[in-house]
Amino acid sequence: MGASVAAQLCRSGHTVTVWNRTTEKARPLQALGARIASSAEEAMSASHVVISLLSNCDHVSALLTSRADVLGGGDLINLTTSTPAQVSLLASAARQTGMGFLHGVIEGYPADIGAAEAVILLGGDEGPWQRHQELLRSIAGQSTYMGDSPAAPCVLDTALAGCLVQGAHAAFLESTAFATRAGVDVDTLRAYLPMALEALKRDMVRSLDAIAAQDFLNTQANLYTYARSFATFKNTVESTGCTAHVLEGCLRRTQSAIAAGDGELGFVGLVRH
């Protein structure tokens, strides 16, 4: 991802200095006009804005702490995958050096970098956003500032990209494995997929409304009903020799909610557990 971002910045006409712990990995960027720094200090002191994209946030924190003397006055934009707790600590460390701080989450893959529809969610100091939003939108056209919480992009990324999108994709692949083994072909699944996605979207919007109103009752079906359904679905999938990990998890969570006394609640009542 770091190479894709640096390459896009070069193509957009920015002056770019790059550093990688393995220098040879940075060599292809020279052909695009990037200068390769011999050290992290050299790279970080070469510009008024530093973009960090390392393998983990601990490496960023270590560099920031050990090179604080060369960083004062610039801005740090951290695009390294991080937890909310890590980002909060990194933001504090950056500000102690006198740097402005933004944390961003790239919602996509290296091939998406530079696209008008690509997204980076950012949070932290507003000053760096105002100064560098044009630069950030050259990396991802839909770069968006969420506000002054540097951890907010991590939370939203975990909730939507992690739990929802990737979780739903995993469930879809499990369901597809079952359906195709049971005799339903891919073209049939493709034809009915929009109907299922529309139902999912409708249910999620209704759930958000219910959570906002703290109204977890549903006269149509309660968690006892869903537990029986999950058990039936799980047994059906497993009868074909397929795994039912997602359904097993759903069943366990529903049974846990029932055991806690919430069996009469609707499906949205699972948010309490």
pLDDT, one tens digit per residue, over 144-194 is 999 999 999 999 999 999 999 999 999 999 999 999 999 999 999 999 999
Beta strands 100-106; 75-78: pairing state: parallel
Decide if 176 contacts 182 (C-beta within 8 A): no
| Beta carbons within 10 angstroms of residue 106's beta carbon | 23
Q: Is the pLDDT of residue 202 over 90?
A: yes
- The confidence score (pLDDT) of residue 66 equals 64
Q: Which of 22, 51, 20 is closest to 35 using CA atoms?
A: 20
Round to whole Å and give the CA distance between 136 and 5: 10
Average pLDDT along the chain: 93
What is the per-residue pLDDT across 100-136, written as a single tens digit (0 to 9) for each? 999 999 999 999 999 999 999 999 999 999 999 999 9
The span from the CA of 59 to the CA of 254, in Å, is 40
> Coil, strand or helix: which one is 50?
strand
Distance between CA atoms of residues 158 and 84, nearest Å: 10
Range of lowest pLDDT (63-67, 218-222, 267-271)? 63-67
CA separation for the pair 160, 157 (Å, rounded):
5
Query: Most distant CA pair in the chain: distance in Å?
Result: 66
49-95 pLDDT, tens per residue?
A: 999 998 788 878 777 776 656 555 789 999 998 999 999 989 988 88
**Selected residue with higher pLDDT from 114 and 22:** 114
Q: Which two tokens stand for residue 166?
A: 């990737």
The pLDDT of residue 57: 82
Per 3-state DSSP, the chain is made up of helix, strand and coil in percentages (nearest 5) of 60, 10, 30
